[in-house]
Amino acid sequence: MKLFKHHNNVLPGFGPTLGFTVFYLSVIVLIPLSALVFKTAGLSWGDFISTVTAPRVLASYKVTFGSAMIAAVINSIFGVLVAWVLVRYRFPGRRIADALVDLPFALPTAVAGITLATIYSPNGWVGQFLEPLGIKVAFTPVGITLAMTFIGLPFVVRTVQPVIEEIEVELEEAAVCLGASRWQTMKRVIFPMLLPSILTGFALSFARAVGEYGSIIFIAGNMPMVSEITPLLIITKLEQFDYQGATAIACVMLLTSFLMLLVINLLQKWSRRYAD
| Host domain of residue 16 | 6-41
| CATH at residue 146 | 1.10.3720.10
- Residues 70 and 32 reside in one and the same domain: no
Residue 226 main-chain phi, psi, to 5 deg: -125, -60
Per-residue pLDDT of the chain (276 residues; tens, 9 = 90+): 445 455 556 656 677 777 888 888 888 888 887 878 888 887 888 888 998 999 999 999 999 999 999 999 999 999 999 999 999 888 898 899 999 999 888 888 888 889 999 999 888 889 888 888 888 888 889 999 999 999 999 999 999 999 888 888 777 778 778 777 778 778 788 888 888 888 889 888 998 898 888 889 889 888 888 889 999 999 988 888 888 888 999 888 888 878 877 877 787 777 667 655
- Residues 34 and 79 reside in one and the same domain: no
- Residues 269 and 154 reside in one and the same domain: yes
For residue 132, being part of any structural domain is answered with yes
- Residues 36 and 20 reside in one and the same domain: yes
> How many domains is the chain partitioned into structurally?
2
For residue 181, being part of any structural domain is answered with yes
